[in-house]
Amino acid sequence: MTATLRTPRALAEAGLIAADRVAELESVAARYAVAITPAMADLIDPLHPADPIARQFMPDPRELELAPEELADPIGDATHSPVKGIVHRYPDRLLLTLTHACAVYCRFCFRREVVGPGGAGGLTPAELDVACAYIQGRPEVWEVILTGGDPLVLSPRRLADAMDRLAAIPHVKVVRLHSRAPLVDPDAVTPELVRALRREGLAVYVAIHANHGREFAAAGRAACARLADAGVPLLGQTVLLKGVNDDVQALENLFRAMVETRIKPYYLHHADLAPGTAHFRTTLAEGQALMRALRGRVSGLCQPTYVLDIPGGHGKVPVGPDYLEADGEVEGPNGRRHAYPPAR
């Protein structure tokens, strides 16, 4: 397969769905963008009724079923957007959105109401000037997070321009890019793109989004290596998804694959209240039980922080299990409780 699949008809022609499903999925695709790259399409098993790769990217009629608690802007980006392209929720860091386009469109995306081909233009040069002026005028901003959309879908020229602008702001010391591209479109991670990211005086990190161990095919691992070999530290971002990774073996396989690829698992996100995504959400208690099961089963290198973005834009908080009991005893990885002496 050589082209990204963008319509239900293309999915049927590729043998990923039956032809008689095209009509029911066209209404889903009309509301929420569809894109499945060749790298991901090659991993889908169309005969598997609950294939974890298909579940992440294939449109599903349940996406049009809206639950009352769901929100068009589930983590309150708009509330904290002083100028176009900027989300400034915490004093020392902010988001800079350069594009609303992605290489693939996740069916659980918390920005699914704004991402898609229609947003591919992103910020105009004038709008980027205004966004950078906002950052320049706030010396408390230490870290800028390039997000979207996916910043690594941009050309090396546009990425280099953004990095040059940020490197020219003295108080910006860290730039973090959030992307699925290294795994879902590994050919896009060219030496030219890698060079575009590196700047003297900036610590540059790439946070790679992956939800299942099978996403780590050879080409994707090689793309990650191109970044790591260039001195770019890699972090891992995962969303806890029912039917994809909501069992301890799937999470173990995923986090081991990350660490083997020189990616440090960073966050395991509880799924947000995005429209039409109820079929992906677990309970917080289920997520805590999974994190508890991982403790002692895999190295600390494989342990992300389980976090919840409080709906409405109130910030991200850790919601992992607590091992300190009310009576002062501590629960070990094997589930046994142990006394710990109080401070004198």
Query: Could you confirm whether 109 is annotated as catalytic?
Result: yes
Query: Could you confirm whether 92 is annotated as catalytic?
Result: no
Encode pLDDT of 196-250 as tens digits: 999 999 999 999 999 999 999 999 999 999 999 999 999 999 999 999 999 999 9
Query: Could you confirm whether 138 is annotated as catalytic?
Result: no
Give start-end residues of each CATH 3.20.20.70 domain in the chain.
78-331
Among the options 89, 112, 165, 281, which is catalytic?
89
Among the options 272, 292, 302, 306, which is catalytic?
272
Query: Could you confirm whether 62 is annotated as catalytic?
Result: no
pTM of the model: 0.95
Query: Could you confirm whether 132 is annotated as catalytic?
Result: no
Strands 263-270 and 305-309: parallel
Encode pLDDT of 27-69 as tens digits: 999 999 999 999 999 999 998 889 999 999 999 999 999 999 9
Among the options 107, 111, 281, 292, which is catalytic?
111
Query: Could you confirm whether 89 is annotated as catalytic?
Result: yes
Among the options 6, 9, 21, 90, which is catalytic?
90
Residue 298 backbone phi and psi in degrees, to 5: -130, 160
Query: Could you confirm whether 264 is annotated as catalytic?
Result: no
Among the options 60, 102, 205, 306, which is catalytic?
102
pLDDT at 18 over 80: yes
Determine the 3-state secondary structure of 149 from DSSP: coil
Burial class (CB in 10 A: 0-12, 13-18, 19+), 146: buried
Give the CATH number of domain 78-331; options: 3.10.290.10, 3.90.228.20, 3.40.50.1820, 3.20.20.70.
3.20.20.70
* DSSP E strand stretches across 28-137: 86-90, 93-97
Fill in the DSSP letter of residue 116: S
Among the options 77, 105, 109, 150, which is catalytic?
109
Query: Could you confirm whether 302 is annotated as catalytic?
Result: no
Encode pLDDT of 247-297 as tens digits: 999 999 999 999 999 999 999 999 999 999 999 999 999 999 999 999 999
